[in-house]
Chains A and B, each alone.
Chain A
C-alpha cells in the first residue's frame, strides 16, 4: 500500500461506507407491509414518482461504460467513440415511442418482466424463455464491464498494485463486489434507487468540475482539440495507419460514418430493451411519469457528452499519456489517471468514488432485472408453477447472486483491452429480442414461431461473427464491428437484419398456411391504459 494516496483513499472509503449503509437502510425505505413480494424486492413496489424515477433511470443508464469505456475509446481512436453521444441522443426519442406502451400493458396485467409480456401476448412459453435467456445472457458482459470499470479505478489508486498475488491484487474488487451482492440481496431495487441519489450528485459534481477546471490547466479547448486532431492524424508506426479519426469519414481510414451510424442506432434501440432499463421503467407509478422522465433524462444525458470529451483531455495531458503507456497502454486507465494527475487528492477521491459508485448502481439493477427474468420466466414457468410470492422473491434474491458470479467469469475471460466491447457484445444479443418486444407492442401480425426462428438466426449469426472477430492482441471477441458489403458495420445491426428477414418471410408463410399464433390475453386499449388511482401529491422523499 506504499504508493496509495491516503487522502484519496480515505475519501473513497468514507463514501463507499456511506452508500453501503444506504444500501442496507434502503430495505426500510418506503417500506411495504410484505417485503417478500417480487413487486417489492424486484420493482421497488412500482410506486416511484417522477423525481425518484429521474434519479433512478439516470443512475441506471449511466454506467462504467460511460465513465471509463467511452472516454477510453475516444482517447484511443477519436471521433468514432462519439457514436456513444449520438446513441444517447437517439435513445430517448426511440424509447418515447414504445416504452409508455410497454409500461401500460405491464401495469394492467402486473407483468414484472418483458418476457411476462411476450408470454401473455403470444401465449408462448418458448418465446418468453428465449427472451428471458437472452436478457440474462446479455446482461452478464454488461455487469462485467462495471467490474472492469471499478478495477481500473482501483489500479490507478495503486491499492495492492505491488502485490504479485492475483487474489490479493483483486481483493478490493472482491470486497466491492461482495458488498454489492449482499445489499442487493437484502434490499432489492430499493438499494440502487436510494444510492442513485448519491451517485448522480457525485457524478454531476465530478463532471462539471472536470469539464470547467481541467481545460484551464491544458491551455483551453482550442489547444485540446487541435492536439487531438494532430495526434489522431499521425501515423502509428506499428500499424502503418493513422491513430484514429477526428471526424467520422467516408474515406481513407475506412467507412467510419457507417460504423458510427450503426453503432449508435444499434445501441440506442438496445438500451430500452435491456432488462435493467425495463426494470427501472416499471418502477414508475404512472404512465405520465414514464414520458416525463424520458423528456427530462437528456438533462442528465448531456453529462455523457461531456464525459466522452474527457478522452481528449487525457490525450492532451502528457503525464496521463505516459502513465497509460507504462501500464500496458490500457486506455481504460485514461480517465482515472487524468483525475489523479489534475485534481488535488481530496477531489480525486470524490471523483474515484463517483466512478466506483457509478458502476455499483447499474450493476445492482442489472442483476435484479436478470433475477426477475429467471424467477418469473424460467423458475416459475418451468420448475414450480405454484411458487408462492415468498418463494419467488427468495429465488430472485439467489439468482441475483448467480448473475454476478457469471459476470465475474466474463470479466476474467474476455479480453479487456477494449472494455466497450463487453457492452457492445451484450447489445448484439439483446437486439435480437427487439423485433418481438417492440413489434409485439404494436401488432399481433408477426407469427410467434417466425419470431422464434428469427431470434435463433440473429443470435447464431451475431455470436459467430463476434466470436470470429480478431485483432493483433486477441484471437476472438476482439471487436463488435464487422465488414459487410465493403462497410464497417456494427454486428448487432447486421444480425438484427438477418433476424427481421427471417421473421418477415416465415410470418407470411405461417400465416398463409394458418398455423395457430397463440392466444393473446391483451386488448388494444391496455397499451394506452394508465391504471392506478391518482398519485398522492406528496414531495417525493417525504413518504
Chain B
C-alpha cells in the first residue's frame, strides 16, 4: 500500500523490517490526522490551548521528524545497483 511495498522487489525483500517501519510510519502519519475522533476534545488543555488545537499545531514538527527518518530509512533500502539511474538495463 505504501511505496516500499511496490519498490522493486529486491530491496524490500532484502530489508523487511526497514520496509515495514516505513510503511507503518507513513500510514500512521496519515491515520493520526485523518481520524479526528482521536483528538476531537477540549481537554486536556495544554497551556491555554484546548487539546484539539494544540494537537493539530504540534503535528507539524513531529511529522517533519518522522518524515526525515523515513527519508533516511529509504536510503538504506537501496541496493548498490539502484544508486544511479544510469545503470538501467
Chain A residues with CB under 8 Å of chain B are: 79, 82, 85-86, 88-90, 92-94, 96-98, 100-101, 104, 108, 220-222, 224-225, 246-249, 257, 260-261, 264-265, 288, 291-292, 294-296, 298-299, 301-302, 305-306, 309, 442, 524-526, 528-532
- CB of B30 closer than 8 Å to a CB of A: yes
Docked complex Cα distance between A298 and B40 (Å): 21
Count of chain B residues near A, Cβ 8 A: 40
- A102 → B minimal CB distance (Å): 12
Are A294 and B85 within 8 A (Cβ)? no
- A36 → B minimal CB distance (Å): 28
Known contacts A89-B56, A97-B3, A221-B48; is-contact A524 B8 (Cβ 8 Å): yes
Docked complex Cα distance between A278 and B86 (Å): 24
Residues of B within 8 A of A302 (CB): 57, 60-61
Docked complex Cα distance between A264 and B61 (Å): 19
Are B85 and A247 within 8 A (Cβ)? no
Nearest residue (CB) in A for B69 is A295
21 contacts between A and B (CB under 8 A): A89-B29, A89-B59, A89-B60, A89-B63, A96-B3, A96-B67, A257-B36, A261-B35, A264-B34, A265-B34, A295-B64, A298-B64, A298-B67, A305-B60, A309-B53, A525-B8, A526-B88, A528-B82, A529-B85, A531-B86, A531-B88
Are A82 and B71 within 8 A (Cβ)? no
Residues of B within 8 A of A298 (CB): 60-61, 63-64, 67
Q: Give the A-B pair count, Cβ closer than 8 A.
A: 122
Docked complex Cα distance between A79 and B27 (Å): 25
Are A101 and B3 within 8 A (Cβ)? yes
Are B84 and A93 within 8 A (Cβ)? no
Residues of A within 8 A of B50 (CB): 225, 246-247
Residues of B within 8 A of A220 (CB): 48
Docked complex Cα distance between A63 and B20 (Å): 36
Docked complex Cα distance between A531 and B86 (Å): 6
Docked complex Cα distance between A528 and B60 (Å): 27
Docked complex Cα distance between A257 and B40 (Å): 9
Are B36 and A86 within 8 A (Cβ)? yes
Residues of A within 8 A of B35 (CB): 261
Docked complex Cα distance between A22 and B26 (Å): 38
Are B52 and A247 within 8 A (Cβ)? yes
- B72 → A minimal CB distance (Å): 9
- B49 → A minimal CB distance (Å): 6
Are A86 and B3 within 8 A (Cβ)? no
Interface membership of chain B positions 55-85, coded 1 if the CB is closer than 8 angstroms to chain A and 0 otherwise: 0110111011001101100100000001011
Are B49 and A221 within 8 A (Cβ)? yes
Are A247 and B41 within 8 A (Cβ)? yes
- CB of B15 closer than 8 Å to a CB of A: no
Known contacts A86-B56, A305-B57, A306-B57; is-contact A295 B30 (Cβ 8 Å): no
Residues of A within 8 A of B33 (CB): 86, 89-90, 264
Are B74 and A291 within 8 A (Cβ)? yes
Residues of A within 8 A of B26 (CB): 93, 96-97
Known contacts A85-B56, A101-B3, A261-B34; is-contact A92 B88 (Cβ 8 Å): no
- CB of B42 closer than 8 Å to a CB of A: yes
Residues of B within 8 A of A524 (CB): 8
Are B85 and A108 within 8 A (Cβ)? yes
- A244 → B minimal CB distance (Å): 14
Known contacts A82-B52, A96-B26, A302-B57; is-contact A247 B40 (Cβ 8 Å): yes
Interface membership of chain B positions 36-52, coded 1 if the CB is closer than 8 angstroms to chain A and 0 otherwise: 11001110000111101
Q: Which of A108, A261, A299 interacts with B64 by CB under 8 Å?
A: A299
Docked complex Cα distance between A196 and B41 (Å): 37
Docked complex Cα distance between A94 and B40 (Å): 22
Docked complex Cα distance between A530 and B86 (Å): 8
Nearest residue (CB) in A for B63 is A298
- CB of B6 closer than 8 Å to a CB of A: yes
Give the most central of A90, A108, A257, A260: most B CB within 10 Å.
A90
Are A295 and B68 within 8 A (Cβ)? yes
Docked complex Cα distance between A491 and B26 (Å): 26
Are B53 and A294 within 8 A (Cβ)? no
Residues of B within 8 A of A309 (CB): 53
Known contacts A264-B34, A305-B57; is-contact A292 B71 (Cβ 8 Å): yes
Residues of B within 8 A of A257 (CB): 36-37, 40
Q: Which of B7, B52, B70, B89 interacts with A96 by CB under 8 Å?
A: B70
Nearest residue (CB) in B for A86 is B33
Residues of B within 8 A of A82 (CB): 52-53, 56
Q: Which of A104, A225, A295, A530 interacts with B70 by CB under 8 Å?
A: A295
Residues of B within 8 A of A247 (CB): 40-42, 50, 52
Q: Which of B63, B82, B88 interacts with A93 by CB under 8 Å?
A: B63
Residues of B within 8 A of A531 (CB): 85-86, 88
Are A222 and B85 within 8 A (Cβ)? no
Docked complex Cα distance between A82 and B51 (Å): 13
Residues of A within 8 A of B86 (CB): 531
- B71 → A minimal CB distance (Å): 5
Known contacts A225-B50, A247-B42, A302-B57; is-contact A291 B36 (Cβ 8 Å): no
Residues of B within 8 A of A85 (CB): 56-57, 59
Are B60 and A301 within 8 A (Cβ)? yes
Q: Which of A221, A261, A301 interacts with B36 by CB under 8 Å?
A: A261
Docked complex Cα distance between A96 and B13 (Å): 21
Are A225 and B34 within 8 A (Cβ)? no
Q: Which of B37, B48, B71, B84 interacts with A291 by CB under 8 Å?
A: B71
Known contacts A296-B64, A524-B8, A525-B8; is-contact A90 B52 (Cβ 8 Å): no
